[in-house]
Amino acid sequence: MNAPEEASFYSGGVKQTKVLSLFSDVPTSASFPVPPGGATQLNGLLSYGYGRWSLNQVSNGQGVRAEQDYDSIISDTDRYELDFPGIPPPMDRTWELQWQVAPQAGGASSYDLALALQFCDGDSPDAGSGCVVVDTSSRGNKLVLSYTPAAIAAWHNPSGPYQPAYDRASPPSQTVTARAYGCFCFEPRFVRGGKFFVNVSAVDRNTYVPASYQVLTAFTSYPQMYSTASGPVSCPPVPTDGGPGCRFTNQ
């Protein structure tokens, strides 16, 4: 609680959701897929929690404690609400996303980040009464983003050829950037929902030492292009009948 980033989440001794407006990068800046200057910043400090959770354990809700766990209490989580500004149709939008955990002495990071997502269904009959949280679970797993070096089947590319969905810079920065190949995007009903939530926690913790993090994020036009060995390829375009092009959550 001594760090300003952590103290800023509290009111009356209770940890609160921090509300921010999501920056618009329209027209798309030359920095894509890196968020542009002026991107929304999520700044916080993760100071306690489980040790070496793999991303799989985060996703499926497991929290098995082993000899490398550094606390026996639930992990510190920072919760953000990101509000969309008014967006005209078509409402598919590409998500620009990058994060970094501050290195410790010697240049190593004490953990990486896991971003658990919750979206609001703007097309629900009950949407006018507030956020109707969309069930983004897949086979019982939460929708959680975290760095992996693996070449994966992105939501739009189930049969390959596969690519990594993230880049990570070499130490000491270890900055993680969501690559264009991942076609990270917001479905129209999520944009119409007006906001979404990001729960930031530590993954692969390897020390007690608290560390600060920064997440940079913005939205831009959809669809974008990504590179392949055969040349540039577009993320799935918005159909001419007005149906959604983005199926990021695969629901």
With pLDDT > 90 as the criterion, what percentage of the chain qualifies?
49
Query: Does position 137 have pLDDT exceeding 80, yes or no?
Result: no
pTM of the model: 0.88
Q: For the chain, give the mean pLDDT.
A: 84
- pLDDT for the residue 209: 81
**With contact defined as beta carbons under 8 Å apart, do 89 and 102 qualify?**
no
- pLDDT for the residue 74: 74
With pLDDT > 70 as the criterion, what percentage of the chain qualifies?
83
Q: Where are the domains of the chain?
A: 4-234
pLDDT digits (tens, 9 = 90+) for 160-189: 899 999 999 987 778 999 999 999 999 998
pLDDT digits (tens, 9 = 90+) for 214-223: 999 999 999 9
pLDDT digits (tens, 9 = 90+) for 222-236: 999 999 999 999 999
- pLDDT for the residue 52: 59
Confidence of residue 8 (pLDDT cuts 50, 70, 90): confident
Mean pLDDT of 57-66: 50
Among 34, 32, 36, 9, smallest CA distance to 23 is for 36
Cβ-Cβ contacts under 8 Å for 65 (sequence gap 6 or more):
50, 51, 72
Structure tokens at 135: 């069930």
Query: Does position 240 have pLDDT exceeding 90, yes or no?
Result: no
Mean pLDDT of 180-201: 93
- pLDDT for the residue 3: 64
pLDDT digits (tens, 9 = 90+) for 66-97: 555 666 677 789 999 999 998 887 789 999 99
Structure tokens at 153: 């089947």
